[in-house]
Chains A and B, each alone.
Chain A
Amino acid sequence: MTMMRNTIRAALVLATLTAAAPPPQQVVAARHAGFKKMGAAMKALGDQLKSDAPAKPAMVAAAQTIATTARQQAALFPAGTGPGAGVKTEALPAIWTNRAAFDAQMKALIAESGKLVAVTNGGDVTAIRAQMKATGATCAACHRQFRAED
């Protein structure tokens, strides 16, 4: 039963990805919005860590936003959505020419942001601060390699 449901779901995902591929602008807009959401959540988490009494619910919510969005972002870089596609994007062509490295960076982000959720749930401010830095380091590493300097 579960297997069948999964098969149907996979088929649906495949269908949306292949048959009804959305126009590049739409994909670029979606991933841009996603990264912006992550940036705002990162700031929200940092704001809490700056304050005298960090609010745990706010930190957990921010970490979850980062982790959830990170997983969605990985799927938003299909071929044909780079700078060559006539869209305005800071994504560098290296994402598609060096795909394995890019995917590894995305995996690192998903792993670190997953840890961030766990650590924020733990509530230890020092640990949260350290894990925020670790997560941010994966952002920065990927941006250095795959995003144009503005």
Chain B
Amino acid sequence: MTTGTTRAAPLWDVPVRLFHGLLVALIAFSWWSGENHEMEWHRTSGYAILALVVFRLFWGVAGGRTARFARFVRGPRAVIAYVRGGAGAPPGHNPLGGWSVVAMLATVAAMVTAGLFAVDVDGLESGPLADYVTFDQGRMAAEWHGAIFNVLLALIALHVAAVLVYLVRGRNLIGAMIHGRRVVAEGEAVEPLGASWWRALLGVAIAGAAAWAVSRGFRF
């Protein structure tokens, strides 16, 4: 390898990128369908998001190197060190960005959970688990469902703003989330991500089964 050439190494595995793209699209679709009272579509979209969240939790322990929670969920000391510009973080989510991932994932999970129990004001439309709660509890779940969405929108705005700040500072994070590769420094050792297809398929099966069971209200 001659001086001046750049090499590329894998950064995000295919499931991570698919998860990200699908989540963006489905949250947008859920927003639209909710606003337009397309509740059949809204529920279906919610089940798909539930499957995505379950898959991501699974992939956080079974996925490629940069997908794993153990790799990017760091303690406060690491976060402070990163913010102060001290320690160079390994490729992947940085210590601060890792918490952004956790916050968004937790918020989406909370929103889906509230939606499962939600009932509309007329008692006509409801989540698949709403018959396990009273009308008043279902109404409360619906209010939380809406309130949590505002939290989610704020987190998404923060996420997009952070990505843009990096872009202005000359670091493009967007491309890597699309093509999955990063530029490797001269002489840097490249580790494979180690994402396995059969594990991804297992995760899809688990996620699909979980979402299906919930959508049936656990009535089989």
Whether A42 pairs with B123 at a CB distance below 8 angstroms is: yes
B 98-120 contacts with A by CB, 8 A: 119
A39 with B219, Cβ < 8 A, contacts A47-B131, A50-B131, A51-B131 known: no
Please measure, in the bound complex, the distance between the C-alpha atom of A112 and the C-alpha atom of B136, giving whole angstroms.
Answer: 25
Among B121, B131, B219, which residue has its beta carbon within 8 angstroms of that of A150? Answer: B121
Please measure, in the bound complex, the distance between the C-alpha atom of A136 and the C-alpha atom of B219, giving whole angstroms.
Answer: 25
Mostly, the A contact residues are helix
A40 with B123, Cβ < 8 A, contacts A47-B131, A50-B131 known: yes
Interface size class of A (residues with CB under 8 A): 10 to 19
Whether A41 pairs with B219 at a CB distance below 8 angstroms is: no
Among B123, B126, B134, B138, which residue has its beta carbon within 8 angstroms of that of A41? Answer: B123
Flag A41-52 by CB within 8 Å of B: 1 or 0 each.
111101100111
B37 cross-chain contacts in A, Cβ below 8 A: 140
B149 cross-chain contacts in A, Cβ below 8 A: none
A115 cross-chain contacts in B, Cβ below 8 A: none
Among B122, B134, B217, which residue has its beta carbon within 8 angstroms of that of A42? Answer: B122
Please measure, in the bound complex, the distance between the C-alpha atom of A33 and the C-alpha atom of B130, giving whole angstroms.
Answer: 21
Whether B131 pairs with A39 at a CB distance below 8 angstroms is: no
Please measure, in the bound complex, the distance between the C-alpha atom of A142 and the C-alpha atom of B71, giving whole angstroms.
Answer: 54
User: Does B1 belong to the interface (CB within 8 Å)?
Assistant: no
B 166-220 contacts with A by CB, 8 A: 217, 219
B119 cross-chain contacts in A, Cβ below 8 A: 39, 43
Interface size class of B (residues with CB under 8 A): 10 to 19
Question: Closest approach, in angstroms, between the C-beta of B216 and any C-beta of chain A?
Answer: 10
Among B122, B135, B136, B138, which residue has its beta carbon within 8 angstroms of that of A140? Answer: B122
A39 with B135, Cβ < 8 A, contacts A136-B122, A139-B124 known: yes
Question: Closest approach, in angstroms, between the C-beta of B102 and any C-beta of chain A?
Answer: 32
Flag A79-109 by CB within 8 Å of B: 1 or 0 each.
0000000000000000000000000000000
Whether B138 pairs with A43 at a CB distance below 8 angstroms is: yes
Please measure, in the bound complex, the distance between the C-alpha atom of A45 and the C-alpha atom of B177, giving whole angstroms.
Answer: 47
Question: Closest approach, in angstroms, between the C-beta of B133 and any C-beta of chain A?
Answer: 10
Whether A140 pairs with B219 at a CB distance below 8 angstroms is: no
A-B contact pairs, 14 of them (CB 8 A): A38-B123, A39-B119, A39-B121, A39-B122, A39-B135, A40-B123, A42-B123, A46-B123, A46-B124, A47-B130, A47-B131, A50-B217, A51-B131, A140-B37
Question: Which B positions have Cβ atoms within 8 angstroms of A?
Answer: 37, 119, 121-124, 126, 130-131, 134-136, 138, 217, 219
